[in-house]
């Protein structure tokens, strides 16, 4: 997280609009795997690395977030299946399917949906530069939360 935040703050292209450049063939072939592995090891979403990568290639924040969110679905579905099957029936008490606590899942789904509704309404009104700054601020908040907990 600290590396990503530093990269966003000190990269000439993240906090400024730049000309959109095509991703290299190597980045397209290897980037997703590397991002997926690092994100899985750190327990963070792949967007933590995908958004800065795309931003450095000149994509708007709206496009970066849209592409990163689309990548979240297959990762989330695979992870949910794995956690649902792992430790099946070993956790005492109700409310679990494997390692998934269903009340917590419900809260995450509802609040995530609320976040999408709010962002759909207000995000188009936020300038690209401010969107990039807010993204970095949110990464810093997540880092602080990870350290504090």
pLDDT at 124 over 80: no
**pLDDT confidence of residue 47:** 85
pLDDT at 8 over 90: yes
Q: What is the DSSP letter of 15?
A: S
CA-derived radius of gyration, the chain: 17
Average pLDDT score over residue span 12-23 = 88
Percent of the residues in the chain that have a pLDDT greater than 70, as a whole number: 97
Average pLDDT score over residue span 127-131 = 91
Q: How open is the CA angle 49-52-56, to the nearest 5 degrees?
A: 140
Evaluate whether 6 touches 17 at the Cβ level (below 8 Å): no
**pLDDT confidence of residue 107:** 96
- pTM, 2 dp: 0.77
**pLDDT confidence of residue 35:** 86
Distances (CA, A) of 103 to 8, 29, 76, 117, 149: 35, 38, 17, 21, 21
Average pLDDT score over residue span 61-74 = 85
pLDDT at 92 over 70: no
Mean of pLDDT over the chain:
87
**Which residues face 100 on adjacent strands?**
97
Say how far apart CA 146 and CA 40 lie, in whole Å: 15
Backbone angles phi, psi at 141, to 5 degrees: -60, -40
Backbone angles phi, psi at 96, to 5 degrees: -120, 145
């Amino acid at each position: 997280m600290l590396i990503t935040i530093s990269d966003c703050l000190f990269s000439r292209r993240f906090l400024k609009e730049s000309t959109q450049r095509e991703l290299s063939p190597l980045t397209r072939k290897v980037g997703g795997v590397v991002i997926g592995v690092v994100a899985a090891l750190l327990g963070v979403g792949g967007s933590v690395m995908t958004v800065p990568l795309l931003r450095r290639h000149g994509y708007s924040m709206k496009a970066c977030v849209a592409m990163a969110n689309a990548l979240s679905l297959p990762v989330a579905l695979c992870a949910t299946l794995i956690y649902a099957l792992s430790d099946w029936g070993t956790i005492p008490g109700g409310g679990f399917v494997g390692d998934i606590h269903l009340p917590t899942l419900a809260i995450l789904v509802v609040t995530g949906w609320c976040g999408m509704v709010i962002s759909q309404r207000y995000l188009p009104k936020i300038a690209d530069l401010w969107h990039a700054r807010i993204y970095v601020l949110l990464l810093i908040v997540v880092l602080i939360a990870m350290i504090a907990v």
